[in-house]
Amino acid sequence: MRDDFPMTKARIKIKNPAFLGEPGPSTDVGHEVSKAGLGVILCAAAIIGLNGFLFFIGGLIKSYGITGLVKGWIIACTGI
């Protein structure tokens, strides 16, 4: 008995956009799943990064500039 998973043997056919109607090269299912997972991770990272940027802009606006933001950050971290 081999140690291969049945899922690794599955293949899908994709169409070549240059020649419609002709079958494209075979692609592993694992490769396609990896591409989808990478897309989800990149979208989540973009949302988190945008959220951090917007919080930074909100802090700048609330503290009336960069000096007020830095001063407030130092006070918050040191407690002085």
Domain extents for the chain? 29-80
Contact 24, 13 (CB under 8 A): yes
pLDDT of the residue at 20: 57
Q: What angle do CA 40, 41, 42 make, to 5 degrees?
A: 90
Measured CA distances, 75 to 41, 68, 72 (Å): 35, 10, 5
Q: How far apart are CA 23 and CA 5, in angstroms?
A: 26
Residue 39: CA count within 13 A, CB half-sphere: 6
pTM for the whole thing? 0.55
Position 17 scores a pLDDT of: 58
Spans in the chain with pLDDT lower than 50: 1
